[in-house]
Amino acid sequence: MANFETVEVNTDLLIIGGGFSACGAATEAAYWAKKNGLKIALVDKAAMDRSGAVAMGLSAINQYVGVKDGENTLEDYVRYVRQDLMGISREDLVYNIARHVDSSVHLFEKWGLNIWLDEDGKYVHEGRWQLMINGESYKVIIAEAAKNALADAGGEIYERIFIVAPLMDGNKCVGAVGFNTRENQFYVFKAKAVIIGAGGAVHVFRPRSVGEGFGRSWYPPFNSGTSAYFTIQAGAEMTCQEVRFIPVRFKDAYGPVGAWFLLFKSRAISAEGGDYMVVREDELNNWAPYGLAKPIPANLRNYLGMLDVEAGLGPLYMETDEAIQKIAAEYKDDPKAYKKKMKELETEAWEDFLDMTISQAILWASQNVKPEEKHSEIAACEPYFIGSHSGASGAWVSGPEDIDTPYKWGYTNMTTVDGLFAVGDGSGASSHKFSSGSHAEGRIAGKSAIKYIVEKGAEPNVDMAKVEELQKKILAPLDLFEAHKGETTDPEININYIMPRQFLFRLQKIMDEYAGGVTSAFKTSKALLERGLELIGVLQEDSDKQAAGNLHDLMRIWENTQRMWIAESHIRTMLFREETRWPGYYFRSDTPKMDDENWKCFTNCRWDPNTGEWEMMKKDIWTMPGV
Ligand SMILES: Cc1cc2nc3c(=O)[nH]c(=O)nc-3n(C[C@H](O)[C@H](O)[C@H](O)COP(=O)(O)OP(=O)(O)OC[C@H]3O[C@@H](n4cnc5c(N)ncnc54)[C@H](O)[C@@H]3O)c2cc1C
């Protein structure tokens, strides 16, 4: 076996991930841990300052309810999420996050985040729920607060450690194992409770950007489905694994469109000039009641654009020039004010990208795009798994203690596995939490996990024979490469193994062609899904034939394996749900309609670690009384 030092870390609470939800969890848990003399360890695959989806920064905080100013009620937010998810949301979780999210935002401001203010000192809204920020350093600020809180409570931070799998004691999670991505070290974390906040998943599907552009995607490439893999492997029940997210974004550099639609009130049109939201309005009747209520769900907006593309009316364009000119027109009688306004709008347009998707600004510059003069191409991206945004996949977690729902079996945000809590992209059916809501949910889970430890936390009972077995399995790709690399002139081509990139391409091809990716126009069917599942099965047989020439390859391999598992749960759940509920995210051609009678429910799944069998389940939707 490869020569690795084993590093053992003993802690009370283990937080996996260093992104928004994990930072929230660390900040809150540190406070309660200090009070109770407990220890916290946080482990991130990258460096916390710039890890996760907010690494590059953001230009808006997408969830702010504004309760203190009477702007909205918590119930308004519950209704909004229900509407956007076509009726499928855990309203107890959405409500719980909504009632805590404003305080997270106020903390961000206190910690130094610049939230735009208007002349009256009020937050500048991008849309009803979104606040504009100068957000290039958003992640750095939030990570700094989490680090300070941990330092104050004597907590520890482990960076550049890739967590692979959970450590289990029956149905109880007692830690995690992983490896250092820079040094030959195998890490064994033993804990009384674990919070998984390792984000969603990208590159499960073949991206639009292949070849020279490979790696580019809307969802940052760092998250490979660790949260889902971890909870699935632990035997936790999962929910909404079919609800992927497909954003429509500026084409090829995936620049954000929120500011254009919401702040600049821009239209999106086909190459013929028709606004697909107007031209195809009648289609929305087929998706009532959601298609007929406002705001129209994101997937339906996508779908209308996709129908244009299917009809050969592409490319689609964002009417940036029209939007800018329209706003500036208010000042047309005063040439000086008009010029100033135009400059201001132009600056805002570029800053929107520079705050969070710098590559889009570079692409615009390289293609001579002047947003005030010419429209710009938009397109639907490949599918992603991001339960905190407009997707909904993730673990099925216990609801808040004080709300009377059928979803309570333990401490708030605990999965169906004892001692294992899930947050952010890791917890399902509670979409639209975004950065701020993920932070708030992290805080909720942080407090809840400490309560669990105080009330129930026993010393972790870790089976070291199992750890050894896991270590052998996790490091095996290094041994495989070492054993056979000399047998061919190009070590990348070898009959005894495949390299991680080849494996990834195979996974992406299967998902793209059978599970409704870009080249299948996001369409699939029972027959396609069944064939896809068969091919995933063959891929699984080959997953332990992946070989690693170095630590980086080893990380790529485990990222692949984690993606493969989320892919399987995705296919299985799409297969189980015999209807089309989210056209624009995916369309089942053999069941092309929404079927509320049979499928207005959660579709949950669980992989049994003892038998290796999957169980598929329906769970009732609980609607908040009076909402
Ligand atoms: C392109 C894009 C644009 C967005 N725009 C906005 C916006 O404008 N406004 C807004 O409010 N929200 C926005 N969001 C949503 C927001 O970024 C997410 O909701 C939020 O980051 C989710 O938090 P999280 O903790 O679940 O995941 P992340 O913040 O992504 O954190 C995941 C963490 O897990 C770590 N990790 C991953 N794998 C492992 C592993 N194997 N071992 C150890 N650690 C691991 C990562 O390094 C990272 O630290 C956007 C998201 C994306 C992708």
Say how many Å lie between the CA of residue 71 and the centre of ligand 1.
27
| Mean of pLDDT values over 172-190 | 98
436: Cβ below 6 Å to ligand 1? yes
Q: Indicate the helix (H) or strand (E) that contains 395.
A: strand 394-395
Alpha-carbon gap, residue 36 to 53, rounded angstroms = 32
Q: 3-class SS at 192?
A: coil
> Is the whole model's pTM more than 0.85, yes or no?
yes
The region that residue 19 occupies, defined by phi over 0 for left and psi between -120 and 50 for alpha, beta otherwise, is beta
pLDDT-based confidence at residue 61 (cuts at 50, 70, 90): very high
Q: What is the structure's pLDDT at 575?
A: 98
- Tell which one of 77, 179, 435 to mutate to probe ligand 1, the residue whose CB is within 8 A of the most ligand atoms: 435
Beta-strand relationship, 523-524 and 587-588: parallel
Alpha-carbon gap, residue 227 to 183, rounded angstroms = 23
Say how many Å lie between the CA of residue 223 and the centre of ligand 1.
8
Pull the structure tokens for residue 361: 């600004």
Chain segment 189-243, per-residue pLDDT in tens: 999 999 999 999 999 999 999 888 888 899 988 899 999 999 999 999 999 999 9
- CB 237, CB 605: distance < 8 Å: yes
Atom of ligand 1 nearest to the CA of 53: 30
Nearest to 352 by CA among 380, 329, 330, 371: 371
Alpha-carbon gap, residue 207 to 218, rounded angstroms = 9
Chain segment 322-370, per-residue pLDDT in tens: 999 999 999 989 999 999 999 998 998 898 898 889 999 999 999 999 9
Alpha-carbon gap, residue 292 to 310, rounded angstroms = 23
Alpha-carbon gap, residue 326 to 341, rounded angstroms = 11
Q: Indicate the helix (H) or strand (E) that contains 563.
A: helix 551-576
Is the bond preceding residue 295 a cis peptide, omega within 30 degrees? yes
Q: What is the structure's pLDDT at 226?
A: 98
Alpha-carbon gap, residue 446 to 298, rounded angstroms = 31
Alpha-carbon gap, residue 586 to 524, rounded angstroms = 7
Alpha-carbon gap, residue 116 to 125, rounded angstroms = 8
Closest-CA residue, ligand 1 atom 20, reads 435
Residue 405 is classified by DSSP as: -
Angle between helices 335-356 and 358-366 (to 10 degrees): 120
- CB 84, CB 457: distance < 8 Å: no
Nearest to 201 by CA among 431, 388, 380, 24: 388
Q: 3-class SS at 288?
A: coil
Percentage of residues in the chain with pLDDT exceeding 90?
A: 93
Chain segment 393-440, per-residue pLDDT in tens: 999 999 999 999 999 999 999 999 999 999 999 999 999 999 999 999
Atom of ligand 1 nearest to the CA of 135: 8
516: Cβ below 6 Å to ligand 1? no
- CB 260, CB 320: distance < 8 Å: yes
Closest-CA residue, ligand 1 atom 15, reads 434
Catalytically annotated residues: 62, 126, 218, 249, 352, 389, 435
Pull the structure tokens for residue 2: 């490869």
How many of the other CB atoms lie within 10 Å of CB of 274?
A: 14
Q: What is the structure's pLDDT at 214?
A: 86
| Mean of pLDDT values over 554-571 | 98
Q: 3-class SS at 558?
A: helix
Q: What is the structure's pLDDT at 113?
A: 98
Alpha-carbon gap, residue 353 to 388, rounded angstroms = 21
Pull the structure tokens for residue 150: 């941990």
Q: With a cut of 80, say whether residue 44 has pLDDT above it.
A: yes
Q: Indicate the helix (H) or strand (E) that contains 599.
A: helix 596-599
- Tell which one of 187, 204, 223 to mutate to probe ligand 1, the residue whose CB is within 8 A of the most ligand atoms: 223
- Tell which one of 58, 138, 358 to mutate to probe ligand 1, the residue whose CB is within 8 A of the most ligand atoms: 58
454 or 69, which is more confident?
Answer: 454
CB neighbour list of residue 558: distance below 8 Å, 6 or more residues apart: 162, 164, 224, 474
Say how many Å lie between the CA of residue 54 and the centre of ligand 1.
6
Residue 621 is classified by DSSP as: P
Residue 124: exposure state from Cβ atoms within 10 A (0-12, 13-18, ≥19): middle
| Mean of pLDDT values over 552-575 | 98
Q: What is the structure's pLDDT at 166?
A: 98
Q: With a cut of 80, say whether residue 574 has pLDDT above it.
A: yes
- Residues 527-565 as b/e (b if ≥16 CB within 10 A, e otherwise) read ebbeebbebbeebeeebeebbbbebebbbbbbbbbbbbb
How many of the other CB atoms lie within 10 Å of CB of 144?
A: 16
Say how many Å lie between the CA of residue 447 and the centre of ligand 1.
21
Q: What is the structure's pLDDT at 355?
A: 83
| Mean of pLDDT values over 276-280 | 97
Q: 3-class SS at 117?
A: strand
Q: With a cut of 90, say whether residue 457 has pLDDT above it.
A: no
| Mean of pLDDT values over 447-457 | 97
Alpha-carbon distance values, 373 to 320, 321, 369, 535, 587 (Å): 8, 5, 8, 48, 36
Say how many Å lie between the CA of residue 108 and the centre of ligand 1.
16
Alpha-carbon gap, residue 94 to 431, rounded angstroms = 7
Average pLDDT of the residues of the chain: 96
Say how many Å lie between the CA of residue 434 and the centre of ligand 1.
9
Extended beta strands in 114-203, E state: 114-115, 131-134, 156-159, 161-169, 172-180, 185-190, 193-196
Chain segment 236-264, per-residue pLDDT in tens: 999 999 999 999 999 999 999 988 998 88
Which of 150-154, 220-224, 542-546 is predicted with the least confidence, judged by mean pLDDT?
A: 220-224
Alpha-carbon distance values, 48 to 45, 160, 387 (Å): 9, 9, 21
17: Cβ below 6 Å to ligand 1? yes
- CB 355, CB 136: distance < 8 Å: yes
165: Cβ below 6 Å to ligand 1? no
Q: What is the structure's pLDDT at 234?
A: 98
Q: What is the structure's pLDDT at 348?
A: 87
58: Cβ below 6 Å to ligand 1? yes
**Which residue has 């998810």 as its token pair?**
85
Rg of the chain over all Cα atoms, to the nearest angstrom? 24
